[in-house]
Amino acid sequence: MEQAMKRRRATYHIWTFTASKLISAFGSQVYTFAISFYILQLTGSATSFAMNLICSILPRTIAAPFAGYAADRWPKKTIVLTAQGATVLAVGGLLAVSLIHGLSLPAIYTTTAIISLAATFSGVSFSAAITGLVDEARIQKAMSLNQMSISIAAIGAPAVGGLLYGTVSMSLFLILFMAAEAVALVLEATMNFRLFNRKADAGEATGEGPAKEPLLKSMKAGLAYLKTQPIIMTIIWISLFINFLFGAFQVGYSYILIEKMKMASEHFGLTEGAFAVGMLLMSVYLSVRKEVKYPLLLSKWGIVTMGLIMASVAFPLLVNLPYTGLFIFYASVMFAFGLVMILVNTPIQVMIQKRVDDDYKGRVFAILETMAMALMPLGTVLYGFLYDLLPAEWILMVSASVLIAVVLTMARPSVVRKAHPELAKSRQDGPETPEPAAE
């Protein structure tokens, strides 16, 4: 009876979590779209656009270890709700400034940094709480539905943002974001974050769990634990280099379409919507299929594919396309990118959820986020300057080539077989066979 009640409660968590992420992500996407377009149209500079990205990336990189420590020591629910509240207040502050003095870059950068800090504490705590919210058999479904909600928001929000941009005030964009975060906060307040946790959260409410040690000692314990998990360390190192190199795409895509191709805001929004459609379809597929058998192998070839897609962004810079052809090409590229990104991320996240002890989840996810983003500020600054100085097509193609080389080296066959011993073959370091799309 108790197990049946827990499963029903877990089902409620899955759908409440999905709904809260859908609402919050919609507001966030609309805000990000409007702010990005505002900065690029105000300054016309990839460097200024990159500075806003830095204000999002740098706080996350610095705060992630503290977020992991907090998630392992204090109630995750309290951290999530506090972070959501801080986001609402930060956007409210920017709204007040815009009404009194008008929007300025310093005000936008400051708000972006605060939102980023709040998102770090909320994201790490939620990641560490997944096995407490749902039963182990439905982890992939929960994470796929989470991605699906983000994708649905990403489909509608850029399209809505593109249609509204220039016709309504920036204040309305900020109000939409505030309202979405407030509704998400209310939904998350109804969830039990300790429903299924095996160990750590038993003493979490009183702060007397296994993470009671001081901050520095706690971080050292997390690193010591990771040394016993070589496959997860490999994933972390791959994330470090991949996220640095993807700065070429992150900065370059918006810069190329808005500044180089002069694409209209509504069409730019639709290309980003195509990215979200790809994410949505793959998320739906992963939510109903059985768990991926070889996640590291699948992610390896998925990242190689992402590198090829990143290089293809430069194609219209080398070959003249009519405006309609340009729109169709970039929408197709983003659709494919969305498909592959979910295929890379979700199985790896499920793998980490199941391999990491509950006592260390907060710190492990914090270290993963820190390492994944450690070089992103440098990459964003570097690529922001490079796009103002060098041909965009060469930046993209060289970065994509390095990306593919890094993944093939760090996730070489011998490493993949350590993660999945059943892949071992008689011929050492022999060829691999990627997992088929469906089993």
Res 154: pLDDT: 61
Please check the confidence at residue 421 and state whether its pLDDT lies above 70.
yes
Amino acid at 21: K
Share of the chain above pLDDT 90, in %: 10
**Domains in the chain with CATH codes:** 2-196+215-419 (1.20.1250.20)
Condensed to tens digits (0 to 9), the pLDDT of residues 310-319 reads 999 888 888 8
CA distance 307 to 399: 8
Name the band, by pLDDT with cuts 50, 70 and 90, for residue 213. Answer: low
Name the band, by pLDDT with cuts 50, 70 and 90, for residue 207. Answer: very low
Encoding tokens for residue 11? 């089902």
Closest CA to 131 of 20, 292, 212, 14: 14
Condensed to tens digits (0 to 9), the pLDDT of residues 217-267 reads 777 787 888 888 888 888 888 888 888 888 888 788 878 887 778 888 778
Please check the confidence at residue 427 and state whether its pLDDT lies above 50.
no
Res 155: pLDDT: 65
Q: What is the mean pLDDT of residues 22-39?
A: 76
Encoding tokens for residue 292? 């991926």
CA distance 39 to 105: 8
Res 408: pLDDT: 92
Please check the confidence at residue 89 and state whether its pLDDT lies above 90.
yes
Res 439: pLDDT: 39
Res 200: pLDDT: 44
Res 308: pLDDT: 93
Of 51-60, 70-79, 158-167, 320-329, the poorest mean pLDDT is in: 158-167
Condensed to tens digits (0 to 9), the pLDDT of residues 330-378 reads 999 999 998 998 888 888 888 887 788 877 777 887 777 777 666 666 7
Q: What is the mean pLDDT of residues 13-22?
A: 82
Res 46: pLDDT: 67
Res 201: pLDDT: 43
Of 168-172, 270-274, 296-300, 415-419, the poorest mean pLDDT is in: 168-172
pTM above 0.75, yes or no: no
Please state the φ and ψ torsions of residue 165, each to the nearest 5 degrees.
-60, 130
Condensed to tens digits (0 to 9), the pLDDT of residues 174-201 reads 887 888 888 888 988 888 887 776 554 4
Condensed to tens digits (0 to 9), the pLDDT of residues 371-412 reads 766 666 677 778 878 888 888 888 889 999 999 999 999 888
Name the band, by pLDDT with cuts 50, 70 and 90, for residue 307. Answer: very high
Between 211 and 327, where is the model more confident?
327
Res 424: pLDDT: 60
